[in-house]
Structure 1
Amino acid sequence: MSTVALAVTDGMLHFELSVAYEVFGTGPPGTADPWYSVVVCGPGAVRFGRFRLEPDRGLDRLPHADTVIVPGWADVDEAPPADLVDAVRAAHEAGARVASLCTGAFVLAAAGLLDGRRATTHWAHTRTLAARHPRVEVDPDVLYVDDGSVFTSAGKAAAMDLCLHLVRLDHGAAVANTVARRLVVPPHRAGGQAQFVTAPVPEQDDHPLAELLPWAIERLDRPLTVEDLARRANMSSRNLGRHFRSVTGTTPLQWLLTQRIRRAQELLETTGDSIEAIAAASGMGTATTLRRHFQRTVGVPPDTYRRTFRSLRPGAR
């Protein structure tokens, strides 16, 4: 069982802490693989807003975890606590993968874990992070960055995206999608997607595409067009494009392609279906089309992806 340690301190952002606990704390029903063991680690009782939290263990527990999650905290003008910085550095040196949510990136940067790496944080603080830590390649225009053993995310909803990305790495797309459905959030948003500084992604399902997106996901095997989506949403194609850019950061067709790739990945992971059958089920039409788009998006052909995934998870069908 993989251990996820949540590193807490005074003044932390409770939304990001809650997101991590929700994602890693409870596994989806029927999951074959052992789920995570979550432990909250801190220097003692910590306060955030009007709340007080008693950690399960001290910060000395971090180096024993497989994954360390560092939520953000409110006052980025202050240097992060030295004991937290030292514990996070020690955890990484011991082999743990370390992920920051929102302004938790300042802790990773102070620990030297982001030197020479690309990283991100909430868009409102990217300039501060870059100025304070010039050896960090700060990218202000992405939701999260996967740099091998070190991960950073932007704020709020992007914290959920990164946590689901970690689940996807550990358990595959099907399980990550199940967790996303339980939490009523989109199953996948690529890390390179824009943070939408001028029009943030809504955290509630009250945006104009709230009904359209799940409707389309249920029909990925069909030849959907922009006109089909616009008709279903009862709006013009031009208006639909504006809403897609605002809500998803991309165009309707690019969003559809991303969902089709994710569906293909899930089928490659969980079934023995032929590439032709998966191409049809994911709406790609032909195996040739699937291979072309899959290679360009994922970086490897579908057959290689399936073999790699199965070599990592011997129990997969």
Structure 2
Amino acid sequence: MYRMRRLRRTEGIRDLVRENRLSVKELVYPLFVAAGVNLKIRVPSMPGVFQYSLDRLPELLDQLLKAGVNAVLVFGVPLRKDEAGSEAYNRDGIAQRAVRKIRAYAPEMVIISDVCLCEYTSHGHCGLIRGGEILNDESLPLLARASVTLAEAGADMIAPSCMMDGDVESIRRDLDEAGYVNTAIMAYSAKMASGYYSPFRDAAHSAPSFGDRRSYQMDYANGREAVRESLIALDEGADIVMVKPALAYLDIVRETRNALRAPLATYNVSGEYSMVKAAAQAGWIDEKRIVMENLTAMKRAGADIIITYHAIDAAEWIREQG
């Protein structure tokens, strides 16, 4: 008789045969840097998440370094927005200044810079608009220009989240021409038009002023298309691909993992984070247990890199597990 419980009998035996183990080194923490001075602004829909001004950013960096989290994904929150999102590619923009600050304060930190226009445009869309249409090709030079300014500031990696066709190719070409051949690209290759992003839009002030993003972000019903998007991104020059969100798309994480051998990231997005936090605050769930189960599911599905707002807490819980 097969007795599978033999290998579940004690914690020591369970540890011995565990198939997947989380590592702090696989975690990336998303952070929001706001223009201004002496700011630490609570994001109401994301308990425990704040916008930081540049002068207070070291408080967060110290927490990350102490936890052993060595990679960040940087989002800028500018004071000024316009139709063309010009602060996104301003060499002295808030995101560029944040990258320089992080590089100076924590030289070994892996700095991944998000590239999109949505936080910087007055209309909140990820590209230029004309007559209510989001323009693809006309937006590409601006995204590439922003990428070069962030590489100049010291970013290790550019992460275009705009879902414009050809964005990786355009960014790779301009980075190479500017001499940043060693700056990597993490493509938001399979990014769904998802309801899970709502709290992020509070944090980044990036909600669209009209319509939605379904004409350029992916239809969440499509799995084969998601894999194709990642293969195209790699062909255009991406070094890492991504599936976003994570929990409702673990099947796509697995399909993508099976289809390619490149590094694969998944983004445990704001809505996923906030639902766990809300349920934990209500006393309905054990936060630590749920977070560790969720993150392990992402790893089990095939993710090499997990971008998560839980990173600081998860780092402590991973150490406790040994």
Asked if Structure 1 and Structure 2 have the same fold, meaning a TM-score greater than 0.5 normalized by the shorter chain, the answer is no
Structure scoring higher RCO (CA < 8 A, sep ≥ 6) equals 2
TM-score, reference length from structure 1: 0.29
Higher strand share: 2
TM-score, reference length from structure 2: 0.29
